[in-house]
Chain A
Amino acid sequence: MQIGEEKIIFTGPVGAGKTTAIAAISDKPPVSTDVDCRGEEKKLKNTTTVAMDYSYIDLDDGPRVHLYGTPGQERFSFMWGILTQGGIGLVILINNDHADPISQMDYYLDAFKEFINKTSVVIGVTRIGVSDQASIEQYQQRLYERGQVFPVFEVDGRSAPDVKVLVQALLSTLTN
Chain B
Amino acid sequence: MASVTEINSKLRELKSRREKHSPQDTSAELSIILAKLMADCDDIAGAMISSTDGHAQAQMLASELDYNRFAAMSSALLALSDTLINETQQGDTKNILLESESGNIFILHAGNQLLLTVFSKPESSLGMSLAYARKAAEEILRMDIELP
Chain A interfacial positions (CB closer than 8 Å to B): 31-39, 41, 48, 50-52, 71, 73, 75-76, 78-79
Contacts and interface: CB of A to CB of B under 8 A. Distances in A.
B52 interface: yes
Given A35-B75, A38-B147, 15 more contacts: A32-B83, A33-B76, A33-B79, A33-B80, A34-B79, A38-B53, A39-B55, A50-B72, A50-B76, A51-B79, A73-B72, A75-B72, A76-B72, A78-B72, A79-B76
A56 to B, nearest CB: 15
Interface residues of B, number: 21
A38 B79 contact: no
B52 A36 contact: yes
A36 B111 CA distance: 13
Interface string B44-58: 000000011111000
The dominant DSSP class at the A interface is: mixed
A39 B148 contact: yes
Interface of B: 51-55, 68-69, 71-73, 75-77, 79-80, 82-83, 87, 113, 147-148
A26 B75 CA distance: 25
Contacts, number: 58
A51 B82 CA distance: 11
Given A33-B83, A36-B113, A39-B148, A50 B52 contact: yes
12 contacts: A33-B76, A36-B53, A38-B147, A39-B148, A50-B52, A51-B76, A51-B79, A73-B54, A75-B54, A76-B76, A78-B73, A78-B76
Contact of B53 (A32, A48, A78): A48
Contacts of B71: 75
A34 B80 CA distance: 9
A78 B69 contact: yes
Nearest to A34: B79
Contact of B68 (A34, A75, A79): A75
Nearest to B77: A51
Contacts of A41: 53
